[in-house]
A and B are shown apart, each in its own frame.
Chain A
Amino acid sequence: MDTLDNRSCAYGLRHQVHLLTFDEDALDIRTTIYDHDHEIWDISASKESPDLFFTCYKRVLENKKIESKATLWRMAPNTPTDPNGLSEPQHHQSRGHLEEVLSLDVGDGTVKKVVWQDNTEVISVEDWRICLWDIDIKQGKAKLTGTIEAPDRRYKFASAVLNPHAQEVVAIYGRSIHGWDLSSLKTTFALIDATPAMILCIDYNPNKPFQLATGSDDCKLRIWDVHHGAKKPIMVIQDHTHWVWDVAYNKFHDQLVLTSSSDCQVNLQSIVSVSTGADYRFDDQYGGEDDMDEDSDRVVSAEGSHSGDHADRTSFDRASPEPQPDVPTDGLVQTYEQHEDSVYQVAWSTVDPWLFMSLSYDGRAVMNQVPREEKFRIIMN
């Protein structure tokens, strides 16, 4: 199952949340439509309860002021007497409605994003601060437990991501990447002015601690290893021709990274050389070589004087970099050009490792799969 929202940007248009359910066997998508009163800027679903999600939305008050809010919703099937039933649902569409569970009290700025920690704790990212909340879904209450102020008043927070390996939140603002410990709210690392361009998005490698991916408005995807406090990224990839708006690691194979950009493209990148896949492969090779040695020993005992040559040759073969066609390599796996407008979000399915979706400004959501060859390459190794 894959949840993604329709980010309806046109003001005055009906705002909706679409729940797309993908049936892999039938290759069929069913849509459940939930009406939402205000324009949605971000959505994040709970990892534990599939019917819960936060939206960050904006509304205009009295033609004077823009108010930004973050609310937790529960999806509910529609009652027969739906007041909003403007259009009759088609055969693959159904309607539902949203029940408000709770709202977060947002300060002055805009709330950009809500990040789930679990069903009791969430983090909201606002313009000038990051808030830690304890939420009680049953009671419908949220309690502010801590805030992190923007370290540089010149730049708003652009986004943040949780470290899946530790109690840490990593946020981006301006050209900098900054990490805080969630319990002590102390800085864990800070890469101030890490890039020459504004950073627009960030994701944390789900399998490899300390590895981050950021996209910025110089069209570049950067992979960082923040462990050693290195000021330079360990990898820089430029395949887009405009700003990179979103980046997402595959949750199962962290060598696959998706990026979306306002050049209307979605790129699937392979960064196998810096992923956990590289580690495994290295181990495998090591083991393989040990096996090889044993083999050649056996040969020595069996063939006598000729065996020396044989052993040399085999070990040489092993050492020479054979261009094995089915080994995953670094580089662009595929470019998806189905979008006609800027692509602002990409997301991997949380259950199917090969499925992902992208959403563009014109409201088109495209679901794609990792190319079969690449899939086999990864599985085989």
Chain B
Amino acid sequence: MATQAAPAADTRQQQQQPAAKPAATNASRRRAKSFLRNYYGLQQSETSPQSGSKDADAAQRSAAAKSDPYDIDGHSFEVDKYMHKMFVEKQLPGLIQADNDLVADIRQLDGDMKTLVYENYSKFLSATDTINKMKSNVDNLESEMARLTQNIGKIAASSSTINNSLGTKREKIRQLNGVHSLLTKLQFVFELPANLNHCLETGSYTQAVKSYCRTLHLLQHYNHLTVFTGIERECKAIMVTIAHRIRQNMSREEATGAEISDSVGLLLALKENPETLWKKYLELSTKFLDKQYKKTLDDIQPLPLYQPPPPATPGSAKSHPATASSLAAAAAATPKKAISKRLSKSPFPAATAAAAAAAAAASNEISRKSEALEAEKPEDKIAYLNHHYLSEIEDFVASFRNYFLLPSNTSATGAMAFGGKDTTEEKGSSSLVVVAGGGGAAFQETEEEDPNGTARYRPAWFIKETRAATQLTKEQRSEANRAIKDAASKLTHGYLDTVRTFLEFPDNVLTMQPAAHIHVLKSLQAAAKSCKALCQLMGFDGLATGLVQDWESQLVERVLVTIKTELLSRISKQDKETQAAWGGVTSSSSSSSSSSSPTTSTSSSKVQQQQGSNGGLLAPGSVARQPTLGRFIQDTKQWLVDTLCSESFPFVESYMTNDVQFMSTKAEQSQFLKTFQSGFKGFWDQVLQSMQNMATEKDSSPTISLLMSQLCFELSTSAIERLYKTLSKTIFRPGAMAGDRRRARSNSFSIESYEDHPVLPELQWDSKSTIEACKDGGHALLDGFIERVGKDLSWLIMQGLETTTATTTGAAENYLTMPAPPTRVSAAWEQVYRQLNMVEQQVLQVFGEDGDRTGAGRTRSSESNRHEPFSLRPGGSNGSKSNNNNNNNGGGGGGSSSNGGGGGHLSITRSHRNDSHTSFGSSGHNAAAGGRFGRQQQQQDLLMSNIDKLFSDRVDIFTRCLDMNRTGILFGIVKIVLKAAAEAVRLGTYGRGGLQQIQVDAEFAKVWLWRFSIADERFMYSILEETQQTAYRRCIDPVPLDASAVEAIISSTAQRIESRK
């Protein structure tokens, strides 16, 4: 098909080129064809064999391709053959299909061809236009060129003329110039003593030293000439006086830091002994700075910590370019300007000493003035401090390093590096601009001497000369270095301490205005950045950054600590209320301490007291309180989440959204975020930790651990994830820089907070581990609760076993000598039952119904609740009991087993009960019947119970409570109590009465504690059974009570309990 396009292009060419000759020779056509082919990127191999291709291979390949007459795209395509083949090969539908295909192909080719034609036509038209334009432009060009050549020729001619005429004079001027400068110098030398004297009188020592230093080498060079020797001698004498004066000057009491520095520089220039000099310098400066420090501290007392900036006054800002904060910013720009100005104003090296001195003085004066101006402005503490103290330190350190420390061979680069950036120098240069503008050319000397062009506070020649003079040995230098480091660190620490005092947090951190602190820190950072010398010497900026980070972490901590304390105080308050409301449980905790009292009478009276108080407390009043604990947990959780979301997070964020310089970069921000993140994580750890501590405190009630454990679970299920989500979309929002934050903040807490926002990956680990920690903490607290209640109750029972009180006589008796038929269930067990009831109430309040957490338990617990009244009612209980007993005795009792009252209750438990009860019941009867066989029987029992144990599952007593609901928690407690009772029974020796008492107690427990141990009834029955067996074996007179008698006692107790309710 493509080949068909090629001829088409050919014809098109003819159309497009009307100017071309029609029907050119075959060869030219082919050439045009190949051009077009190239243009359209067609393959050479498709060219016809007539194209005369030189490539033999290609020809062959194409020949092979051509030889197929059925190729509809090939050149050797033969219609007839193709048609024939088609007819032979294809059925009618195939043919129709082929026909359709062909028609479609043809149409498409048509369309293609037309498009090509249009495209190329328009191109051609535009080309024609272009050519026309070019043609007209070329005409103009030629005439212009001609004129240009003419003019240049003229200029060349006149220039050569001028050159020729001036040639002779130039040489002369140069000579004269040389002579002039020589004379000037000579004159300067001859006038030097007089000048120096003059300086001495006027007190401009700087100028004197400068002049002297400049001429010194000259004098020394020519000191074989008597004239110069005289001058030198004279000068030296004067200089000695000057040096003396300078010394006096700098030792004055009121000498400022700058003066001292200047003086030291001068003395160095006069080649004083550098070692003694640096010591002196250090001493004087330290003294001065201490003084300055005190003064500054006094001065800043009345100043406000932070002055909100007055509503934009650009004029004032311009007039005081040297305010502390804008200094650094302006630093880069100003010097260049200043220098260029000065250079333009002083093209000739014609400085006079006086002018330079005046300049120095003026600069000082101006800086003073600007300071004064600043002082008028409302100023805050940090700015004042930076300005009056830190800058002095910086000055001192900078000059000291300049004078004594920097090695001389690097003076040029050192000077460069040192130039024009720090505060003081900047101040100098900016004030110099004013001088240059107003006072005229003043500083030419400096410019001339210092080809680097950096304007500096101390003229460059100082440095040059002093460097030359500072011939300190390496050791001396390192000593000086150490000394200055010590001094500087002392000074800066004083400074940083002061800054720290600005950053005190108020008690309630949320009321704090962020602006003040941020301002302080901002200024600190700016100052630290600008104090190059201090930074180089001792990493001052590092210290400052450290301070900022300290502040950040403290901020985070403060914010969270407030919440923590509030949370804990809420809990403990609630605990107190609960204690007040639930006197019973509190008394149980107090009973653990009282129960350890050695005398029986007190503990037993306590028990009775408790009975009294508990009886009252089980009154309906406590039921009315039902939802308090549960609501408290919900409230607290809500409060915690709300406070964090609506107070703390925005508060922290407000620090980030402010245009805070120290949070301007990504790194600094992420640093802050890291601090916050770890702080937040630590917050949870601390909360959990202090919850644990609260739970283990001696005087806390066990209820508090229950409360807190549920709180922990609540937090772990939803709250923490929500908080981290909130964090993810507010503070930690990825890529949100200061500007975005502010914009987004307005709605971030209102609208978005309800949207689901995934936790950021970097927070995910934290979130997960916090949830885990909360869960663990909750479990630990819950287990602590169970253990504690369990222990308290076990203690009751164990204590009861050691000594018991027969209520009828009031006399204390023990289990060995107790009278044979017990009259009632022992007080300890009744007490245990009451307390368990109360704990159940609390657990229900805190954890809700069973179904809330584990769906499976629901029906069962409600069922047990529903049936409880029946089983507890004396009649119902009687029925169920007799049923039970009948079975045990192996008698009939079939009729009574259908007794409706206890049926619901017993249907669940009967099978287990039978299993475990049989052994003891039968052995009891046998023993009662005939003592002879008793022993043998007993051993069999032992064997049986051991075999029983083999097949029963081992139950862990103190384990993690996994069912966080009524069933699980209460079973945890009951387990502990029963096991403790079983252990305790083993330690005693019993008389008949004792045995029977234990029997009664165990039966009581079976009926009344069943409700609490539905999680594993089998365990309860087997362990109570074992307890009875143990008592039986440890009894000196083993006669168990008749089952019906036991029944009677229990039902009477039940009646008592019922009536109390």
Contacts and interface: CB of A to CB of B under 8 A. Distances in A.
Nearest to A12: B935
A174 B597 CA distance: 11
A362 interface: yes
A361 B986 contact: yes
A305 interface: no
Interface residues of B, number: 29
A368 B959 CA distance: 27
B596 A9 contact: no
Contacts of B598: 153-154
A103 to B, nearest CB: 20
Interface of A: 9-13, 58, 60, 63-66, 153-155, 174, 196-197, 217-219, 241-243, 262-264, 340-342, 361-362
A10 B1029 CA distance: 10
Given A63-B991, A340-B949, A362 B942 contact: yes
Interface string B943-955: 0001001100010
Contacts of B956: 241-242, 263
Contacts of B696: 196
Given A9-B1034, A10-B1033, A11-B1036, 8 more contacts: A11-B1034, A11-B1035, A13-B1033, A58-B989, A241-B957, A242-B957, A262-B979, A341-B949
Contacts of B935: 12-13
Interface in B661-680: none
B1037 interface: yes
A66 B958 contact: no
A13 B958 CA distance: 33
Nearest to A14: B935
Contacts of A65: 816
A219 to B, nearest CB: 5
B942 A155 contact: no
B983 interface: yes
Nearest to A344: B986
A155 B787 contact: no
B817 interface: yes
A153 B602 CA distance: 14
Contacts of B946: 340-341, 362
12 contacts: A10-B942, A11-B1034, A13-B935, A63-B816, A63-B817, A65-B816, A155-B596, A242-B956, A242-B979, A262-B979, A262-B983, A264-B954
Nearest to A10: B1033
A264 B979 CA distance: 12
Interface in B185-211: none
B782 to A, nearest CB: 16
A78 B203 CA distance: 125
Contacts, number: 68
Contact of A342 (B958, B983, B1033): B983
A263 B986 contact: no
A13 B597 CA distance: 35
Contacts of A361: 986
A60 B983 contact: no
Contacts of A11: 989, 1033-1036
B1035 A9 contact: no
A192 to B, nearest CB: 13
Contacts of A243: 983
A64 B950 contact: no
B986 A9 contact: yes
Contacts of B1036: 11-12, 60, 63
Interface in B925-952: 935, 938, 942, 946, 949-950
Nearest to B992: A63
Given A58-B989, A66-B989, A154-B597, A10 B958 contact: no
A10 B957 contact: no
A183 B144 CA distance: 130
Nearest to B959: A241
Contacts of A362: 942, 946
Given A58-B989, A361-B986, A263 B1037 contact: no
Nearest to B934: A12
Contacts of A153: 598
Given A63-B1036, A154-B597, A340-B949, A241 B958 contact: yes
A115 B405 CA distance: 78
A363 to B, nearest CB: 9
Contacts of B938: 10
Interface in B960-989: 979, 983, 986, 989
Interface string B445-487: 0000000000000000000000000000000000000000000
A131 B325 CA distance: 83
Interface in B696-711: 696
A66 B814 CA distance: 11
Contacts of B816: 60, 63-66
Nearest to A193: B698
Nearest to A39: B989
A11 B938 CA distance: 11
A274 B767 CA distance: 36
A10 B935 CA distance: 11
Interface string B714-752: 000000000000000000000000000000000000000
A197 B596 CA distance: 12
B989 A218 contact: no
Contacts of B1033: 9-13
A108 B525 CA distance: 79
B882 to A, nearest CB: 32
B442 to A, nearest CB: 61
A197 B592 CA distance: 11
Contacts of A63: 816-817, 991, 1036-1037
Contacts of A342: 983, 986
A190 B954 CA distance: 38
B1004 to A, nearest CB: 23
Interface string B834-868: 00000000000000000000000000000000000
A11 B791 CA distance: 29
A4 to B, nearest CB: 19
Given A12-B935, A66-B816, A241-B956, A218 B787 contact: yes
A197 B938 CA distance: 36
Nearest to A153: B598
A243 B598 CA distance: 23
A343 B1034 CA distance: 18
Nearest to A361: B986
Interface string B526-557: 00000000000000000000000000000000
Contacts of A264: 954
B962 to A, nearest CB: 14
Interface string B1028-1057: 000001111100000000000000000000
Given A10-B1033, A63-B1037, A242 B991 contact: no
Given A11-B1033, A362-B942, A60 B989 contact: yes
A218 B958 contact: yes
- A219, A264, A340, A362: residue with the most chain B Cβ atoms closer than 10 Å: A340
Contacts of B959: 241
Interface in B993-1048: 1033-1037
A362 B791 CA distance: 25
Contacts of A9: 986, 1033-1034
A154 B979 contact: no
Contacts of B597: 154
A264 B950 CA distance: 12
B1034 A154 contact: no
A218 B983 CA distance: 14
A241 B957 CA distance: 6
A174 B1037 CA distance: 32
A81 B597 CA distance: 53
A362 B983 CA distance: 13
The 6 closest A-B pairs by CB, nearest first: A241-B956, A10-B1033, A242-B957, A154-B596, A154-B598, A219-B958
A241 B959 CA distance: 6
Contacts of A66: 816, 989
B467 to A, nearest CB: 40
B34 to A, nearest CB: 69
